[in-house]
Structure 1
Amino acid sequence: MKTSLLLAAAATAVSAHYTFPQMTVNGAAVGSAWESVRKTVDWQDNGPVTDVTSQNIRCNELAPGTASATTLNVTAGATVGFAANPDVYHPGPAQLYLAKVPAGQTAATWDGSGQVWFKIYAEQPTFGSQLTWPSMNAKQINIALPTCLPSGEYLYRVEHIGLHVAQSKGGAQFYLSCGQINIAGGGGDASPGPKVALPGAYSATDPGILININYPVPTSYTNPGPAVFAC
C-alpha cells in the first residue's frame, strides 16, 4: 500500500509539469514531438528550470550542438507556436522570444548565445480575487509572427513561468523549449529589439519572478525580461 501511494504521488507530480515538444502552424501541430523543437533535459520527467542564471534557461537542451531537430518553414504573419504536453498546468505568464541566426550559420547548429533574443509576446493576467492567466490549462501557445521580421532562420523560444510557489527565491518554475524556424515573406528592414542574452535577461529577484500571487493578491504584474517588440 505504501509503495502504491508513493507511485501515485510521483505520477501526480509529473502530470503537474509539462513540456513544449511540438511546433504548431495556424493551430495545427506539425510533425512529431521533438521534430522541429530541440529535445529538452526534461523531455521525460517534464521538470522545470528554476535557476535563471543557468545555461538551461536559454533552451534547456538535452544535447546541445547535436543538430537533431529539423527547421520548420513558416511565413511572416502566420500563426506559429507550440503545443504543450499535456497542457499548461500552473498559473503564470507565457512569453515568446526569437533570435535571428547569424549569417553563415543555421538554426540547426547555432547555440543562441549572446545578446540576440527579442520578445514578441508577453502575457498579462486578469486581476481580481485571484490572478487569471489566459494560458492556464491551454493545449497550445500561439501568436501571429510579426510581418515586418526579416526573412531567414530563427530560434523560436517558448517560455511559461509557473508562479504558484514563487514567493521564495528559486520557486518560480520555467517550462521552455526552442524550436527552429525559417521565416519567408518577411518585411526585410525591421530591426527587432531590445535584445537580451539568455542567461542574463533575468534575475531571481525580478518582481515578475519572485512574487506571491496568492496573498495578498497582486493588483499588477511586471513581466520579466525586455519589452515586447512590435512592428
Structure 2
Amino acid sequence: MMKTAAFVLAVANLAAAHTTFQSFVIGGKDQGQHFAVQTPSNGNNPIKDVTSPLMVCNGGKATADQVEVAAGSSIGFQWHHNDPATVSGDSDEPIAASHKGPIMVYIAKADTKGEGAVWTKIFEDGLSGGKWAVDTFIANKGLITVDLPNLEAGDYLIRPEMIGLHEANNAGGAQFYNGCGQIKVTGSGSASLPASGVDMTKAYSATDKGVLFNIYNGATTYEIPGPKVWDGASSGSAPAPSTPTKTAAPVAPAASKTATPTTITSPKPATPTATEAAPVPAPSSGSGSGSTLPESFTIEQFISWLKTTAGSSASKARRHARAFNL
C-alpha cells in the first residue's frame, strides 16, 4: 500500500514538474516578469495534442510591450517551473530533470499574429554526447540564449519551445512547452524571413521520430522534429542570401598569341653597278677601235665593241647596257 502511494506521489510530481517562459534577458539583464511576454492561458501545463491552437503561443494574448534587440545580437529567454517563480526550495526549478528533450526557437512577423504558415525555425538543440538540450537548460537555471539572424528591422513574435520526452515512448505522451514574446529588431540588418514558413498546428505529428521516442533505450542519436533551421540563421547572425551566389564560369587562359609568320622574300639580286658589270672578255690592249677595247672606255665604245665582237643587234647591246642601270 505504501509502495502504491509512493508511486502515485511520484507520478503526481512528474505531472506537476512543468515550466513556462516568463521574461526576456537582453545584454545580461532580465527585462522583468511578463514584460513583452504573452502570459499563457494554459499555465505551466504541457500540450500533448500537436494540432491544438495552444501550439501557437500557448494561449497567450498580445501585450502593448516590446523589447528592443539589435539584429544579429544575443537574446535570452528565462523560464521557471512556477509562475510566479518560487526558486527557493523548488527541486523542479526550472523543470524536473526527468523531462529530457530538445529545445527549439521560432520567429514570425508580428503582424501575422502567429497564425498560419508564418513561423521560421532559427535554433534547435537536441541530443549530443549523451547530453540533452534540457540538461543544458537546467544547468543554465532556465535560461535559453540564442543569436538572432541579421534580420531587417521590424516587429516580430519569437517563440521558444521545448519537448519533454519522458513519456514519449507512447503516442501522445510527448509534452510540449512553448511561449511567445514580442520584440522590436533594430539596426541595419537585411535578412527577410522566408515567404513561406510553418504552421505550428501542423509542424509536428504524434508519430514523428522525434515526438514518438523512447529515451530509456540508451539512444545516442535523436532526430529533432519539425522543419530545418532556416539557412539565414544556421551560422548565427549571418543572413540568408536572397539569391544564390553565381559562381563565375572558369575563365579560359588567354590563348597565347602566335606571331604571324613573316614571309621572307628573298632579296632581289642587286643590280650590278658599273664596277660590278657582268664578266666581259678581257680586253686586249689597243687603241679602242676594231675588236679590242682600250683599258678605259666609254659605254658607246663598249656597245660598238659588242657589235663587232659578238655580232649582236643594237637591241641586245642595249639590254646589256641596262644591266649597268645606266
CA gap of 1:178–1:190, structure 2 versus 1, over 3 A, is same
**Alignment partners' CA distance in 2, 1:23 and 1:228:** 22
TM-score normalised over the length of structure 1: 0.81
Partner of 1:188: 190
- In the alignment, is residue 100 of structure 1 matched against residue 100 of structure 2? no
When you count helix as a share of all residues, which structure comes out higher? 2
Partner of 1:50: 48
**Alignment partners' CA distance in 2, 1:22 and 1:39:** 10
> How far is 1:15 from its partner?
5.3
Letter in 1 for 2:69: V
CA gap of 1:144–1:200, structure 2 versus 1, over 3 A, is same
Partner of 2:270: none
1:170-181 equivalent positions in 2, closer than 5 A: 170-181=172-183
CA RMSD of aligned residues (A): 2.6
Partner of 2:37: 37
Letter in 2 for 1:53: T
- Of the three residues 75, 79, 82, the one matched with 1:84 is 79
TM-score normalised over the length of structure 2: 0.59
**Alignment partners' CA distance in 2, 1:94 and 1:15:** 20
- Of the three residues 146, 163, 184, the one matched with 1:143 is 146
Contact preservation (8 Å) 2:24, 2:78: yes
Q: Give the unaligned 5+ runs of structure 1.
A: 103-109
**Alignment partners' CA distance in 2, 1:47 and 1:91:** 16
- Greater relative contact order (CA < 8 Å, ≥ 6 in sequence): 1
Deviation per residue, 1:111-161 (Å, 9 max, x gap): 21111100010102124xxx42143214201111112x1110000001010
Partner of 2:132: 133
Contact preservation (8 Å) 1:135, 1:141: no
**Alignment partners' CA distance in 2, 1:199 and 1:224:** 13
**Alignment partners' CA distance in 1, 2:14 and 2:35:** 26
Q: Give the unaligned 5+ runs of structure 2.
A: 82-93, 234-238, 240-326
Larger Rg: 2
When you count strand as a share of all residues, which structure comes out higher? 1
Runs (4+) of structure 1 moved beyond 6 Å?
8-11
% identical aligned pairs: 39
